[in-house]
Amino acid sequence: MTSDFAQNPGRDGRPTWGVIGRAAAFLLLFLAACSDSGTTAPDRSTADLAVAGHPGIATRVRSLATQRGITPMPAPPHVRPALARLGRALAFDPLLSGNRDISCMTCHLPELATDDGRSLAIGQGATGLGPERIHPEGTFIPRNAPPLFNLARLDHMFLDGRVEVDRAGKLHTPAGSQLTRAMTRALKFGAVSAQPMFPVVNRFEMRGQPGENELADVPDGDFRAVWEALMVRLGKIPEYRRMFEAAYPGQRFEDMTFAHASNAIAGFLVEAFSFDDAPWDRFLEGDHDVLTAEQLRGALDFMEAPCSTCHNGPVFSDDQFHDVALAQFGPGEGNGPTGRDDFGRMNVTGDPDDLYGFRTSPLRNVELTGPYGHAGQFAHLDDFIDHYSRNADKLRAYSDADVPEPLLRGTLVDNRDAVIAARSPFIRAADFDATFVREVTAFMRALTDDRARDLRRVIPAAVPSGLPVRR
Ligand code: HEC
Ligand code: HEC
């Protein structure tokens, strides 16, 4: 293994990523030989590459992107306006939480690019939003709240993909057969339509503890009883009845289930948070000058290095699971000797090959969505990118002082040897310098759609329950 991934000096004397780097270099040579615009391999030490939009480099980046399926964003599915309106109301309504104190958007804040700015999310029973949010008992959710961009493009929801549409188009969820066929028929946007069925059953995210409310009194595992109780709540509000019937023309509220609510929320997410107009998109359309010279070099680094082995397709995710050598802290998913570890994808499949696998993060608008990693291990994008280089050493050196959230210091899990052993082969030999980190970070900023910088426009003035929207 080690010799396969041994280091070799790059064409410009900078270290490369071993086997994959060499393969990419051959590919580049091949592409360069085929293209009429340039016949030599790129030499990044020469000054001409400092020229933004250098056509040779731009052509190579475009070709490599095409190879990786990093194509322009396909148009999102059409969402009926009445469906999106219902979904928006539900997503912002604390009525969906047991104690009526938290909505979906409390953890996916529009002003923080559908994120909460925290390493780990803070659920029901807490007060405040984003950086100010605080739980009286210091309780955190085991994982980082991911952003909600372009979700119609992914077949796996959640960082371990426990809600998934398989290759045959079949839906798998933690609810098993409780999500009936009739309910599944209401789910129109793929995996994302099923996802909102689950935060509402989670005690720490939204439902609360036994004795606190009628949703929380339902025994764990009885998903349907929670969903039915939610429909009872919603059905008591005439405006919701009207909105459901407008969203699903020809159907009566009585005949609908929480799957209709879930699908409407997904419709809202798809309609409001699909983004396809970053500088990168204009570059793909043929605008040579839209990327800075640094971003263009970063794009080449990204396409050559194994980054794009995993981060590919229009949203820069292969929608698959890999161990990229990250530290573990916080309450965890009940795994390992202390119960504070998080085995990731293995918790879904039971397959030891999936140990510490997490879904490749999509990277559009990534500049806006820190902290990064499944537990928010890094506050800054450049630090996250840097961690890939000599990642086993970096993981061993990661200490309490590196945990971005002060309240989580002292909770690091001693699983490093196992995480290192299970690392993806694609990152084992990663070794690059500060220039690479700077360039690739610059490239990441070219994936930001300006319209995603401030999403407060989607916040409704009020929701049908009359509960405060900003909780
Ligand atoms: C307490 C904070 C919190 C609340 C409330 C919350 N979420 Fe999340 N959300 C998270 C966290 C944390 C994850 C990642 C969990 C995991 O992977 O296990 C997540 C994951 C998701 C995902 C998956 C995204 C992806 O890339 O796979 C979607 C979609 C989502 N939430 C939508 C919602 C909706 C809709 C609601 C309301 C019904 C909601 N969330 C309520 C914190 C929250
Ligand atoms: C082996 C596949 C793989 C390779 C190679 C890879 N990544 Fe990742 N990337 C992932 C996975 C998986 C995650 C999520 C890991 C987690 O949270 O545990 C991730 C997360 C990220 C994130 C954090 C995003 C967020 O929202 O939290 C960034 C940024 C990122 N990768 C950039 C890069 C760059 C730049 C490179 C090349 C230097 C790269 N990745 C190489 C699979 C990969």
Note whether residue 133 is domain-resident.
Answer: yes
Ligand 1 pocket, residue 270 CB under 6 Å: no
Task: Give which of 425, 303, 353 is closest to 27, Cα–Cα.
Answer: 303
Q: Please report the atom of ligand 1 found closest to the CA of residue 120.
A: 12
Judgement on whether residues 102 and 245 belong to the same structural domain of the protein: yes
Note whether residue 8 is domain-resident.
Answer: no
Average pLDDT, the chain: 90
Whether cis (ω within 30° of 0) applies to the bond prior to 72 is: no
- Work out the average pLDDT over 190-214: 98
- Tokens 């609360």, residue? 208
Q: Which of 217, 243, 273 is the C-terminal boundary of a domain?
A: 273
Judgement on whether residues 240 and 317 belong to the same structural domain of the protein: no
CA-to-CA separations, 83 to 108, 183, 271, in angstroms, rounded: 20, 16, 10
Residue 107 has pLDDT above 80, yes or no: yes
Burial, 39: exposed, middle or buried (Cβ in 10 Å; 0-12, 13-18, 19+)? exposed
Judgement on whether residues 288 and 249 belong to the same structural domain of the protein: no
Judgement on whether residues 91 and 130 belong to the same structural domain of the protein: yes
Mutate to test the pocket of ligand 2, among 280, 360, 364 (most ligand atoms within 8 A of CB): 360
Q: Give the residue whose CA is nearest to atom 33 of ligand 2.
A: 307
Note whether residue 463 is domain-resident.
Answer: no
Ligand 1 pocket, residue 90 CB under 6 Å: no
- Residue 360 CA to ligand 2 center (angstroms) comes to 6
- Work out the average pLDDT over 196-220: 98
Judgement on whether residues 221 and 316 belong to the same structural domain of the protein: no
CA atoms within 13 A on the CB side of 452: 27
Mutate to test the pocket of ligand 1, among 120, 141, 356 (most ligand atoms within 8 A of CB): 141
Judgement on whether residues 240 and 120 belong to the same structural domain of the protein: yes
- Work out the average pLDDT over 449-458: 97
Whether cis (ω within 30° of 0) applies to the bond prior to 371 is: yes
pLDDT value at residue 419: 98
Q: Give the residue whose CA is nearest to atom 21 of ligand 2.
A: 361
Rounded distance, CA 128 to CA 152, Å? 30
Q: What angle do CA 142, 147, 150 make, to 5 degrees?
A: 135
Q: What is the pLDDT of residues 409-431, one digit of tens each?
A: 999 999 999 999 999 999 999 99
Judgement on whether residues 98 and 209 belong to the same structural domain of the protein: yes
Note whether residue 238 is domain-resident.
Answer: yes
DSSP per residue over 139-207, as a string?
A: ---SSPPPP-TTGGG-SEESTT--EEE-TTS-EE-TTGGGS-HHHHHT--STHHHHGGGTTTT-IIIII
Q: Give the residue whose CA is nearest to atom 1 of ligand 1.
A: 123
- Residue 361 CA to ligand 2 center (angstroms) comes to 6
pLDDT band at 48 (very low <50, low <70, confident <90, very high): very low
pLDDT value at residue 54: 61
Rounded distance, CA 227 to CA 351, Å? 30
- CA terminus-to-terminus distance, the chain: 52
Residue 27 has pLDDT above 70, yes or no: no
Q: Which of 229, 250, 273 is the C-terminal boundary of a domain?
A: 273
Find the domain containing 61 and state its range: 18-73+278-450
Ligand at minimal distance from the CA of 146 is 1
β-bridge mates for residue 321, sequence order: 359
Note whether residue 6 is domain-resident.
Answer: no
Judgement on whether residues 98 and 224 belong to the same structural domain of the protein: yes
Judgement on whether residues 233 and 311 belong to the same structural domain of the protein: no
Task: Count structural domains, the chain.
Answer: 2
pLDDT value at residue 471: 76
Q: What is the pLDDT of residues 110-124, one digit of tens each?
A: 999 999 999 999 999
Note whether residue 469 is domain-resident.
Answer: no
Residue 40 has pLDDT above 80, yes or no: no
H helix or E strand, kind and range, residue 74? none
Q: Which of 273, 307, 341 is the C-terminal boundary of a domain?
A: 273
Q: What is the pLDDT of residues 298-354, one digit of tens each?
A: 999 999 989 999 999 999 999 999 999 999 999 999 999 999 999 999 999 999 999
Judgement on whether residues 105 and 170 belong to the same structural domain of the protein: yes
pLDDT band at 470 (very low <50, low <70, confident <90, very high): confident
DSSP per residue over 90-121, as a string?
A: HHH-GGGSTTS---HHHHSBGGGTTB-SSSS-
- Work out the average pLDDT over 457-461: 98
Task: Give which of 122, 125, 120 is closest to 98, Cα–Cα.
Answer: 125
Higher pLDDT, 305 or 180: 180
Token pair for 84: 């999106």
Ligand 2 pocket, residue 311 CB under 6 Å: yes
pLDDT value at residue 305: 87
CB distance 345 to 161 below 8 Å: yes
CB distance 82 to 75 below 8 Å: no
Judgement on whether residues 110 and 219 belong to the same structural domain of the protein: yes
- Work out the average pLDDT over 378-396: 98
Ligand 2 pocket, residue 310 CB under 6 Å: yes
Task: Give which of 173, 198, 325 is closest to 258, Cα–Cα.
Answer: 198
Token pair for 305: 């290095």
CA atoms within 13 A on the CB side of 165: 16
Note whether residue 11 is domain-resident.
Answer: no
pLDDT value at residue 89: 98
CB distance 144 to 371 below 8 Å: yes
Ligand 2 pocket, residue 204 CB under 6 Å: no
Residue 52 has pLDDT above 80, yes or no: no
Rounded distance, CA 209 to CA 211, Å? 6
pLDDT band at 262 (very low <50, low <70, confident <90, very high): very high
- Work out the average pLDDT over 430-438: 98
Judgement on whether residues 383 and 432 belong to the same structural domain of the protein: yes
Ligand at minimal distance from the CA of 272 is 1
- Work out the average pLDDT over 161-181: 97
Token pair for 281: 């998109």
Residue 209: give its domain's CATH number: 1.10.760.10
Residue 32 has pLDDT above 50, yes or no: no
| Count of C-beta atoms within a 10 Å radius of residue 453 | 12
